[in-house]
Amino acid sequence: MNLPFNKLLVFSGTLAVLLAAAGCSNMQMGHQGAKTEATGSAAGSHTQGENSRLEKCDQIIGTMMVIEDYSSDWYVYYHQQYKLGPTAPVLKLLAQQSNCFVVVERSNRAMKGMMKERSLRDSGELRKSSNFHKGQMVSADYSLSPTITFSSRNSGGIAAGLSGLIPNSLGRTAVGLAGGVKAQDASTLLTLIDNRSSVQLAAAEGSARNFDFGAVSSIFHRSSGGAGGAGLGAYANTPEGKVIVAALTDAFNNMIRAVRNYEAQNVKGGLGTGRGGLQVQPE
């Protein structure tokens, strides 16, 4: 079958990209393709390998804890649907790498560990030189609360473009391959609360899109009679969490841009005094 050069080039390029994603099946620790937007490490004020697009602060704003409502509808859904864990570890990494906040730990599991040490102290089991006493925990000035507002998977739109370019069986194969590529979108929301006053200081939305090559594995498996497709799925299936992590990173960046220019809201008559601008008719 003879094809115009430009159409053959489109098909070859599409096939090359998909085969490149499919062909790498060896374990590669630290592989860039397996990383999310929240990457690298942090120890105190030192960071390494962080996202170059992460917003940073010249001065630390204060201490912060992350509060995640495990009973909320969005958390229950994504945990059951995608087997995703808490988003708090991602946000704590971003917060420390940004140098905007000192993170204090308040998760139930961590608190149990800390209180366990205190119970050992109270029972006399700890060494006298352990320097473990009351009044050492640091308070959290702020609370950061995440929400996943939506995450959906739709067609990437690649198949439709190829169908008109490449005819016959070759075109159908290309369309089948491209049809296995799905675009996944996610949107998240972060709110920053002042723990002393309960006032919401900042809110920021974040979004991200990612192309998932996972569905291509079944197409290769069928078209090759089972040969060559068996090892593709584990590598080519993009984790559902990647696009959500990217959306959280985007929301965090948007929040930091906002708090850099923070100005307190002023209410005539005083904040929370009952003398605000919206009043009901008196008796």
> Between 269 and 144, whose confidence is greater?
144
The tokens of 230 are what?
A: 């068996």
Q: Tell whether the model's pLDDT for residue 6 goes beyond 50.
A: yes
Q: How far apart are CA 117 and CA 111, in angstroms?
A: 10
pLDDT band at 179 (very low <50, low <70, confident <90, very high): low
Q: For position 63, what pLDDT does the model report?
A: 98
User: Do 21 and 213 form a contact (C-beta atoms < 8 A)?
Assistant: yes
pTM: 0.72
User: Do 99 and 45 form a contact (C-beta atoms < 8 A)?
Assistant: yes
Q: How far apart are CA 106 and CA 219, in angstroms?
A: 46
| Other beta carbons within 10 Å of 229 | 19
Q: For position 42, what pLDDT does the model report?
A: 92
Q: For position 198, what pLDDT does the model report?
A: 96
Q: For position 241, what pLDDT does the model report?
A: 80
Q: What does residue 203 show for φ and ψ, rounded to 5 degrees?
A: -145, 140
Q: Which of 32-36, 188-192, 264-268 comes out lowest in average pLDDT?
A: 32-36
Place of tokens 């290769």: 220
DSSP secondary structure code for residue 130 in this structure: G
Q: Tell whether the model's pLDDT for residue 277 goes beyond 80.
A: yes
* Tens of pLDDT, residues 106-149: 998 999 999 999 999 999 999 989 998 899 999 999 999 999 99
> Between 164 and 241, whose confidence is greater?
241
The tokens of 137 are what?
A: 């925990």
Q: What is the mean pLDDT of residues 158-167?
A: 52
Q: What is the mean pLDDT of the chain?
A: 79
* Tens of pLDDT, residues 224-243: 444 433 332 221 234 578 88
> Between 166 and 108, whose confidence is greater?
108
